[in-house]
Amino acid sequence: MTEQNLYPLENTPKIEGLISRHFEGESDYPKMLAIYTNLHAAGQYPGDTTIESLRAEYTNLSNSDPHDDLIFVDVNGETIGFCRFYWERQVKTGDYSYGILFRVDPSWQGQGIEQSLIEWGETRGRYYAAVLPEGDKGFFVTQCREPDRTRFNILMECGFTIDRYYHSMSRPLIDLPEHPLPEGITVRPALPKDFRKIWEAANEAYKDEYGAADPTEEWYQNYKSDTNFQPMLWQVTWDGDEVVGSVQNYVSLEENELEGHMRGYTEAITVRREWRHRGIASSLICRSMAMFKAMNMDEVALTADTQNPTGAMRLYTNLGYRPYMTLLELHKKILNI
């Protein structure tokens, strides 16, 4: 480790051989994947992370400096934790959300490393709050699976409180409902020339959702390079040349192999405001379920904001989805800028 790669981390626990450092690019992806693999084995993370998905995410970071907004913790040459900081400005409120995304290998949890990473993330947040326009109008945000009590207790001790609940929901592919599309609305395959148009339409629809931020070009590049970008599985509705809505389905082969299930994801469900309340989302989801059944999938799944203002939870429940896991979003006010 050269002097220039070190990245001082305050208040680290007294662990022999512990150092903190900057992101080193491609060589860090296998080290990060090893942590995710161990987190999955401990029941703390899904099994869909790959080298390719990490490369897609970290090659196209948005509002996150790969040099200063990433930090890694090594012990005797082994990477055992890392944290990424980012910021977004919400469309509806103008508030900034200052994200602190940290992961610590299960064998090193509860020894003070999480607290150090959180403190580092808050320091990055206070820096941005001081330089961004109205940057002090914001909050820190992070997430925790409900069963992960070690992580939850640490976050509570650090001053975070629960702000929002998200349900991961699934449905077996039996007794499938049917819901026809309204007259004049058609479905056709997503072609490469339409990818950006579909993405922009989805982002327009998302602006009514909690936490929506203005999309960036980095988001789009990340979106296209992600392993879950599988347009051949999408269901996209059109009204003439206008994108009406979409369900951007995908299958994680890695997760299905690790978990021993055959699951398809019905995610990124959007309908633009002008075409809502006509049953289009129901039609798209029903079409998606029928497609996955034809592919010999056993179930479909999605993640839903329990406080979604457009009534998404009611829609999913009516279509037979049921919660199997809850993700908590936790917030903390910015102090001492």
**pTM of model > 0.85:** yes
Phi then psi dihedrals of residue 187, to 5 deg: -120, 135
The answer as to CATH 3.20.20.120 being correct for domain 3-159 is no
Mean of pLDDT over the chain: 94
The Cβ-side half-sphere exposure at 122, using a 13 Å CA radius, reads 18
In this prediction, residue 336 carries a pLDDT of 62
What number of H helices and E strands is found in the chain? 9, 13
Distance of CA 313 to the CA centre of its chain: 18
pLDDT of residue 212: 86
The contacts of residue 178 (CB under 8 Å, 6+ apart) are: 286
Q: Do domains 3-159 and 168-326 have the same CATH topology?
A: yes
pLDDT at 3: 53
Fold topology of 168-326: Aminopeptidase (3.40.630)
Question: Is the model's pLDDT at 4 over the cut of 60?
Answer: no
**pLDDT at position 246:** 97
Q: Which pLDDT score, from 0 to 100, does residue 92 have?
A: 86
Ordered DSSP codes for 160-210: -EEEEEEEEEEEESSS----PPPTT-EE----GGGHHHHHHHHHHHHTTST
Strand partners, 20: 73
pLDDT at residue 312 in the model: 87
Q: What is the pLDDT of residues 203-220, one digit of tens each?
A: 999 888 888 888 889 989
Domain range summary for the chain, segments of one domain joined by +: 3-159, 168-326
Whole-number pLDDT of residue 13: 93
Q: What would the mean pLDDT of 131-149 be, rounded to a whole number?
A: 95
Q: Which residue has the higher pLDDT, 301 or 43?
A: 301
Is the pLDDT assigned to residue 337 strictly greater than 60? no
Helices in 261-303 by DSSP H: which ranges?
Answer: 280-294
Identify which has the larger pLDDT, 43 or 330.
330
